[in-house]
Amino acid sequence: MKKLKLNNAGFEYLELAFTEWLDILGYNKGTVYTMGAVVREFLYFLTSRSVVHISQLDTPHFKQYYQYISTRSNQRKGGALSLNYINKHIQALEKFNEFLTHKTGTSITMNVRQIKYNTKPITVLTQAEIKQLFTLTQQDRITERETALQSRDAVILVIYYSCGLRRNEGVHIELNDINLDTRILHVRKGKKYKERLVPISQHSAKILEDYIYNHRPILLKSNTESRLFVSYYGKPCTGGTLYRCLQKLIYRSENPELAEKEVGLHTLRHSIATHLLQNGMELQKIQRFLGHSSLESTQIYTHLTEEV
């Protein structure tokens, strides 16, 4: 895609304006690049259909492009393109269509939807397994720094299990997003940049307070660092760093059943949603807690509770 030449000044400007718009919205560089590349391929496709100005764009063009990528071969591996790859194209075009609506005030119906396909089964930890992980974060450690890192592990469980945050939501939490007096966590960078307020339990608030005031300063290299999670070297933690911390905690549990499960940060979010439903919380309340746009996304947990 990156080798395509548009040879159309208007389309080149649109691609640049679209990527700048994504950047302003706060999308990461990888997503901006990928979506920009998809839009470039789409615009290139339009020129092959004698569309030379964006005002000529209409619903059939989206359908024609969908048919094109659905039948196009994988140039590197051979065979057809994966469903995930096709869905990423559709996601990018949905965002591009939103950009065009924002820019021109004219909305175009795409009539093209992402393909639903079977994904990996969702892994859920039991409440006993969650309790065991929390217990591991309370063990006596030899050094002050080890104790600080263990306190951070407890906060990982608080943010991703007790508060049910998504991976990137937790990574971007800053100290001023947490109000320990009101016990409210402000998620500012949620999915599709939707904000929400998440309640913090009294027990979780104590764990957060202990880490923020007693242990996090030991890890810091700079007093200006605002991120909640900081690494051994005092830098902001990435999602990969937090994932590895969780894996080490699972290894320390010496629990063979837990070790066999495919566990990530999002597993903790799935687990709290399932446990809340098992404990009788209404589905609509769980939807608001998780920040789901639709109740349909939350309903998957009704099936999980039948299996657990």
Lowest mean pLDDT among 125-139, 187-201, 275-289: 187-201
In CATH terms, the fold of domain 127-307 is hpI Integrase; Chain A (1.10.443)
Cα angle 251, 257, 259; round to 5? 25
- Structural contact between residues 6 and 47, judged by C-beta atoms closer than 8 angstroms: yes
Any idea which residue has 């080490």 for tokens? 248
With a threshold of 0.75, does the pTM exceed it?
no
CB-based burial label for 62 (10 Å; 0-12, 13-18, 19+): buried
For the cut 80, the answer to whether the pLDDT of residue 305 exceeds it is no
State the CB neighbour count (10 A cutoff) for residue 160.
24
User: What is the length of the chain?
Assistant: 308
- Residue 103 has a pLDDT of 84
DSSP for the chain reads -TT-----HHHHHHHHHHHHHHHHHT--HHHHHHHHHHHHHHHHHHHHTT--SGGG--HHHHHHHHHHHHH-B-TTT-SBPPHHHHHHHHHHHHHHHHHHHHHHS--------PPP---PPPP---HHHHHHHHHHTTS--SSHHHHHHHHHHHHHHIIIIIS---HHHHHT-BGGGEETTTTEEEE-S-GGG--EEEE--HHHHHHHHHIIIIIHHHH-S-TT--BS-B-TTSSBPPHHHHHHHHHHHHHHHT-HHHHHS---HHHHHHHHHHHHHHTT--HHHHHHHHT-SSHHHHTHHHHHHHH-
For the chain, the structural domain boundaries read: 9-104, 127-307
- Residue 114 has a pLDDT of 66
* Residue 105 or residue 19, greater confidence: 19
Q: Encode pLDDT of 213-259 as tens digits.
A: 999 999 998 888 999 999 999 999 999 999 999 999 999 999 999 99
| Residues annotated catalytic, as ranges | 166, 191, 266, 269, 292, 301
CA distance 280 to 93: 40
- Residue 83 has a pLDDT of 75
CA 95 remoteness from chain centre? 17
What type of residue is 252?
Answer: R
Q: Encode pLDDT of 5-20 as tens digits.
A: 888 899 999 999 999 9
For the cut 90, the answer to whether the pLDDT of residue 266 exceeds it is yes
State the CB neighbour count (10 A cutoff) for residue 49.
13
CA distance 203 to 226: 23
State which of 29-33, 65-69, 131-135 shows the largest mean pLDDT: 131-135
Short-list 150, 139, 148, CA closest to 234? 148
Q: Is it true that domain 9-104 has CATH number 1.10.520?
A: no
For residue 1, name the pLDDT band (cuts at 50, 70, 90): very low
